[in-house]
Chain A
Amino acid sequence: MQVAADLQKGLDVYAIREQFPILKREVKGKPLVYFDNAATSQKPQVVIDALVNYYTNYNANIHRGIHTLAEEATAAFEATRDTVQKFIGAASREEIIFTRGTTEGINLVAYTWGRQNLQAGDEVIISGMEHHSNIVPWQIICEEKNAVLKVIPVDDNGELILEEFEKLLTEKTKIVSVVHVSNALGTVNPVKQIIDAAHAKGAVVLIDGAQSSVHLDINVQEMDCDFFAFSAHKLYGPTGVGALYGKKQILEAMPVFQGGGEMIKEVTFAKTTYNDLPYKYEAGTPNIADVVAFKAALDFMTETGMKKMRDYEHELLAYATEQLEQIEGLKIIGKAREKTSLISFVIDKVHPQDVGILLDNRGIAVRTGHHCAQTLMERFCIPGTIRASFAIYNTKEEIDALVEGLKKAIKLLV
């Protein structure tokens, strides 16, 4: 009964906050209010401990050593792969490739799958709300292959115009690479619909999950995407590590990405044979410590409860939207029907940078600028926005502090 009662309860944000040591620090003499979670989240003690524990107790290179430390390190490294597989609902562990992050995952697909499958005149579709890291790799490969890059337009609410997407899809479309959740607007895109439509035309689909993986339940099999790329550091995990999911038969058919140790079976000067999945794409000594700590982050999320976290984040989003909308001259950019806990906004006659500096002076960290989505800012005819993005350790009191800080800033600046 007690368990059932606990499950009913919402998230205990104060207990969560206790687990994040950085939240105790002050900035400019004020308690830190960290609202730049879409850039990177803070880390719970369990993640920090996992890193320290790895280096303190079992640091060794993985896979080849036969000594105890190497075995322990290998076991911990591979345990993360199993956890990632479960976390995103992949069919097998071979489909999980460790990368440096989302950007490297996308580049891996562009340079291997793209190089093998794109030909002159073929088309690649991305969307008008992509992060630069889901634009530039495709531009590079399209230029190399004389392929054409097409863009799904965005409407005034910050949603993709799906009718236009249907028109862009042709027999020439080879790959569709779209963001699951916009880092600049918070829009949740209808990826299932996009994937099904693309598959109907024989195109493969990559989903950029950098923002979605921390806020939504991810199941790559249900989604039926061909690739899914995400980063650990946005999910309370360490920086410098991420995972790329790819369907097994596609990964097997793809050429290798980087050459080196680990990714080979046998090397002679005449010919090298490559390792099996997933090692085929993991050349060189990987970021072992951070991969190990990545598991601690995923376990932390699962133990906290995905639904609890989501519900709480929605509560913060609703509260912040309501509070911010009351500020005169403030305009929220991106009013999609489905959003994650992120608000991008502009204020009449005020430059985002000025607001960012004045908020920082009150210990409040927000992001200002174009959020690596210059093309999207152009779409809304603005140089940039102020972005507040919320995580499970943020509170309504902190949102009140933001509102107060904004009012003071506006008073000074206008």
Chain B
Amino acid sequence: MTIQQVEDEIVEEFSLFDSWDDKYEYIIDLGKRLAPLDDKYKIDENKVRGCQSTVWLAAEYKEDGKIYFTADSDAIIVKGLISMLIRVLSGRTPDEIINAPLTFIQRIGMTTHLAQTRSNGLLSMVKQMKNYAVAFKIKNSQLQ
């Protein structure tokens, strides 16, 4: 599936919920199910700035030419949001990540529903993921 298709899939899932109570319940559930991050990755350089809660995000570039993200947070809703970002962006090539539209965040109403300060946290995560992709792409081109 392309990134676009996964995004559409998430939007469709969210359209099944009538209320934000249900949407949050779903996001919380995603957060609870996200595999915990190994403590060795919970270091300062993996912290995402701009979040009220602590968010750690680690990225690994594997031999298949794709980036794999793992992340964690001490706040569960944020963790649910990261879980969705990972679903969309993990296991993709740097170019795919850099060019990902990520319109699903807006389409599920997240940006208007989360207070600005918290949306900033979400946008910080997206930015950090894209930064990783750019960094790996540059590193790649230098190796070749």
A residues near B, CB below 8 A?
28, 351, 353-354, 357-358, 360-361, 368-369, 383-384, 412-413
Contacts and interface: CB of A to CB of B under 8 A. Distances in A.
B28 A413 contact: yes
A28 B20 contact: yes
Interface in B68-88: 74-78
Contacts of B113: 28, 361
Max count, chain B CB within 10 A of own CB: residue among A351, A358, A384, A413: A351
B117 to A, nearest CB: 9
Given A354-B75, A369-B52, A383-B74, 4 more contacts: A28-B20, A353-B78, A354-B76, A357-B118
A176 B142 CA distance: 58
Contacts of B78: 353-354
A21 B37 CA distance: 48
Interface of B: 20-21, 24-25, 28, 52-54, 74-78, 113-115, 118
Contacts of A361: 20-21, 24, 113
Contacts of B118: 353, 357
List of 7 A-B pairs having minimum Cβ-Cβ separation, nearest first? A351-B75, A353-B75, A353-B53, A353-B52, A354-B77, A354-B75, A354-B76
Nearest to B29: A412
Interface residues of B, dominant DSSP: helix
Contacts of B21: 361
Contacts of B115: 357, 360
A354 B53 CA distance: 9
B21 to A, nearest CB: 7
Contacts of B28: 354, 412-413
A108 B105 CA distance: 44
A204 to B, nearest CB: 37
B94 to A, nearest CB: 31
A92 to B, nearest CB: 43
Contact of B24 (A351, A353, A358, A383): A358
Given A368-B52, A412-B24, A412-B28, A357 B114 contact: yes
Contacts of B114: 357
B74 to A, nearest CB: 5
Contacts of A351: 53, 74-76
A383 B74 CA distance: 10
A308 B25 CA distance: 42
Q: Could you say which of A357, A358, A361 has the most chain B C-beta atoms within 10 Å of its C-beta?
A: A357
A353 B25 CA distance: 15
A131 B20 CA distance: 35
Nearest to A357: B77
B80 to A, nearest CB: 10
Contacts of B75: 351, 353-354
Nearest to A28: B20
A369 B59 CA distance: 28
Nearest to A414: B76
B42 to A, nearest CB: 14
A227 to B, nearest CB: 32
Given A368-B52, A369-B52, A353 B20 contact: no
A128 B78 CA distance: 31
B11 to A, nearest CB: 20
A387 to B, nearest CB: 13
B104 to A, nearest CB: 19
Contacts of A369: 52
Contacts of A368: 52
A369 B115 CA distance: 14
A357 B54 contact: no
Nearest to A365: B115
A383 B77 contact: no
A50 to B, nearest CB: 29
Nearest to B75: A351
A176 B24 CA distance: 47
A385 B104 CA distance: 31
